[in-house]
Amino acid sequence: MKVHYSPSPAATNTLSTEALRDHFLIGDLFHPGEISSHYTDLDRMIIGAAVPKAAPLYLPTAKETGTSFFLERREIGILNIGAPGVIRVGGVVHELGSLDCLYIGLGEKEVSFENGSTGQAQFFYVSTPAHAKHPTAVVRSSALKTDPIGDQAKANRRRINRLIHADGIKSCQLVMGFTEFEAGSVWNTMPPHTHSRRTEIYLYFDLNDNIVVHLLGEPSKTRHLIVRDREAVLSPSWSIHCGAGTGNYRFLWAMGGDNQTFSDMDPAPLADLR
């Protein structure tokens, strides 16, 4: 498990392109037949990916968590962004199609990832510390009835699909979902915001050969990253997080921190951006 430490706002303003990418961008996540795991100091969130082949893959036991098994004091949300696959939780089988989401609460000792019979399942997961157990639950992409929002003239026509949240799958602190853009729309989270009480992590996917120019940093001192398909961006509570692609795409968003209030944001007006 790789550990990521975040620089301060002042230090971020001095970083080179490579140093900025080292601190805020996590790529090279998806490897056939392997499970990856990255521990961040941002609200102690862990992200990773599992790409099972012939043999099942298991959540790792790592000294970084300070526990005897991964979910002893944690909860986890998993989104399948590939072909159908299977996740076993304590012997119970959960079949996940493309864009299906599984939540697993703390205390589950054995969690395994398996490939389906056709194509390649690709599971991305986000884990946060937890203090109480909530039941394992699934959200099917076929059940999502999200109305589009945004304006085609402003290139931000999109659907925000909330999966793990106060009015959906219950959790201790994890909030997770994904946003998908209509053809011709490319801007996400603009005007931007920060939320000083929560960390947010993005995984950009279904970009194909497109890229996203992701903006981060303090509103008055913005920086940028060039992000490609299936790369994740870490967003500290003091940083904006928004971007524009060269084509439409999807991105998973996940938050952990003091609350689960989706609207708890500190706006960063366009006039203040530099």
pLDDT of residue 117: 86
Structure tokens at 166: 């106060």
Q: What is the mean pLDDT of residues 96-110?
A: 97
Say which DSSP state 7 is in.
Answer: P
pLDDT of residue 33: 97
Residue 9 belongs to what H/E stretch?
Answer: helix 9-12
pLDDT of residue 259: 78
3-state SS assignment for residue 271: helix
Question: Using CB atoms within 10 A of its CB, is residue 12 exposed (0-12), middle (13-18) or buried (19+)?
Answer: buried
pLDDT-based confidence at 263, cuts 50/70/90?
A: confident
3-state SS assignment for residue 153: helix
pLDDT-based confidence at 63, cuts 50/70/90?
A: confident
Interval 14-35: pLDDT, tens: 999 999 999 999 999 999 999 9
The phi and psi torsions of 156 (rounded to 5 degrees) equal -135, 35
pLDDT of residue 133: 95
pLDDT of residue 59: 95
pLDDT of residue 213: 98
pLDDT of residue 166: 85
Distance CA 38, CA 30 (A): 12
Do the beta carbons of residue 184 and residue 155 sit within 8 Å?
yes
- Is 90 exceeded by the pLDDT of residue 257? no
Question: What DSSP letter does each residue of 10-61 carry, written as one string?
Answer: HHHTT--HHHHHHHHEE-----TTEEEEEEESSTT-EEEEEE--SS-EEPPP
Q: What's the start-to-end Cα distance of the chain, in Å?
A: 36
pLDDT of residue 262: 77
Do the beta carbons of residue 137 and residue 77 sit within 8 Å?
no
pLDDT of residue 53: 95
- Residue of 266 and 47 predicted with greater confidence: 47
Residue 145: partners with Cβ closer than 8 Å, 6 or more residues away:
none
Distance CA 209, CA 229 (A): 7
CA dihedral 222, 225, 226, 230 (to 10 degrees): -130
pLDDT of residue 167: 86
Domains (ranges, CATH) in the chain?
2-272 (2.60.120.10)
What distance lies between CA 193 and its chain's CA centroid?
Answer: 17
Length of the chain: 274
3-state SS assignment for residue 125: strand
